[in-house]
Structure 1
Amino acid sequence: MLKFRKIPAETIRRMPRYLRAFSLLGQEGQAYISSQALAGQLHLKPPQIRKDLSYFGDFGTRGVGYPVSDTARRIREILKLDVAQKAVLIGAGRLGTAIASYPGFAMFGFDIAAIYDNSPAKIGKKLAGLTIQDIQTLSGIAEQRIRLAILAVPSESAQACATLLVDAGIRGILNLSPSWLKVPKRVKVVSIDLAMELGTLLFYL
């Protein structure tokens, strides 16, 4: 049970960073790490790390640090990553192809289970070991109880694809198209527009 009901969105966004750090430390054979050392790796402040983790209970021991393996396990449970999570990829263009081949999903337990596109030239072909399927058959994922989707399609196709995903029972969409999606409140959307992110970055240069 969570220590506090209201958890800041920024804290939730940092939790995967902590998981990645603890997972890599575990792979290196490190048993413990202090908040000071962890903060140095993540370019954060130690009090911020301690506060973030405190929302989810007691972590670590004063003077000893955080047990790497146990902390990674607990964060996985918090993020619901203690079991493999399947996702569908919508879009088999250049961006979709790069995503399908991205090895970083494995660390978090994500598995791209199916790929869909609307191009007759791509449907039926193989991508990352999967056969690209017709987007119009997307409703079939409801039987697999897949809840996550990655949307990597042009802006003009994004809303129509999002509607199909919602109808198929998808509850979370990672939207990589430069378009804002209209979905029911029960569906969570996280949008990443690479051009906008570059524009934000440029402001600080």
Structure 2
Amino acid sequence: MTRREPRPRERGIPEATVARLPVYLRALQALSESGTPTVSSEELASRAGVNSAKLRKDLSHLGSYGTRGVGYDVGYLVYQISRELGLTQDWSVAIVGAGNLGRALANYGGFGTRGFRIAALLDAEPALVGDRVAGLSVGHIDTLEGVVEAENVSIGVIATPAQAAQAVCDRFVGAGVTSVLNFAPVVLNVPPEVDVRKVDLSIELQILAFHEQRKADGREGPERIGTLDAPPGPAGGQ
């Protein structure tokens, strides 16, 4: 059995920091691809959308402090973060749900370059079984346990309707999968040792709608105040 590297949280790295590491890694990989050898904390923070103090604190959890006047070595920092996230080895992924979302995930070419191999795409619909998607033949959900064992699946992805998600999750867990990415709009019940990440696009859209509404209120507020409350004349805004 392959020796498992300690997870970031097992090393005392805060969950908020763990959530930002992939963002730093993406920015660093772009710098690396452009041939940039070093980067300052200010520039990297700007590319990642955080302040530089937060970035420096996050990276200090990895034991990386940069060099004063030089910054961070891009290549080494890519390696450090990749190692911390477990991306220095390949992870086998199985997707259940061969609808539009599942097919889009299987077709996404970015997974392969980031250490993830889509090993299987499964569905319960007989009409979809046997379809070719991204070089894979869609398998039947009944083969899930065998696929997990044969392909050494580490991560299960659920891209099914809500009503099927818990049953699929239970089968993943029963087969020994302890990391699940859930796209179904439902909260999954799992044992404490199983990690679930939920991606709900409708919630993200609702959060954006909230911010849009707040911005709209902000634009309208001063106009209403100016119209209703301010005295006439040039000095009205004073």
The TM-score, its normalising length taken from structure 2, stands at 0.82
Shift of 1:40: 1.6
- Establish whether residue 18 from structure 1 lines up as the match of residue 24 from structure 2: yes
Alignment-derived partner of residue 197 in structure 1: 204
Contact 1:154 1:177 in 2 (8 A): yes
Contact 1:89 1:151 in 2 (8 A): yes
- Establish whether residue 171 from structure 1 lines up as the match of residue 178 from structure 2: yes
Alignment-derived partner of residue 97 in structure 2: 91
Counting aligned pairs with the same residue, the percent is: 40
Mapping of residues 74-113 of structure 1, within 5 Å:
74-113=80-119
Provide the secondary structure at the position in 1 that maps to 2:47: helix
Kindly report structure 1 stretches of 4+ aligned residues shifted beyond 6 Å. Answer: none
Shift of 1:5: 4.0
Shift of 1:112: 0.6
Provide the secondary structure at the position in 1 that maps to 2:44: helix
What 5-or-longer segments of structure 2 have no aligned partner? 1-5, 213-238
Alpha-carbon displacement from aligned partner over 1:63-83 (angstroms, at most 9, x marks no partner)? 101101111011110001001
RMSD: 1.6
What 5-or-longer segments of structure 1 have no aligned partner? none
Alpha-carbon displacement from aligned partner over 1:18-49 (angstroms, at most 9, x marks no partner)? 11111111111100000011112122100010
Aligned equivalents of 1:9 and 1:201: distance in 2?
Answer: 23
Aligned equivalents of 1:25 and 1:59: distance in 2?
Answer: 18
- Establish whether residue 6 from structure 1 lines up as the match of residue 17 from structure 2: no
Contact 1:149 1:170 in 2 (8 A): yes
Contact 2:28 2:74 in 1 (8 A): yes
Aligned length: 205
Mapping of residues 113-192 of structure 1, within 5 Å:
113-140=119-146, 141-192=148-199
Alpha-carbon displacement from aligned partner over 1:162-191 (angstroms, at most 9, x marks no partner)? 011111111100100001111111110001
Letter of the 1:200 partner, please give it: I
The TM-score, its normalising length taken from structure 1, stands at 0.95
Provide the secondary structure at the position in 1 that maps to 2:203: helix
The structure with the largest alpha-carbon Rg is: 2
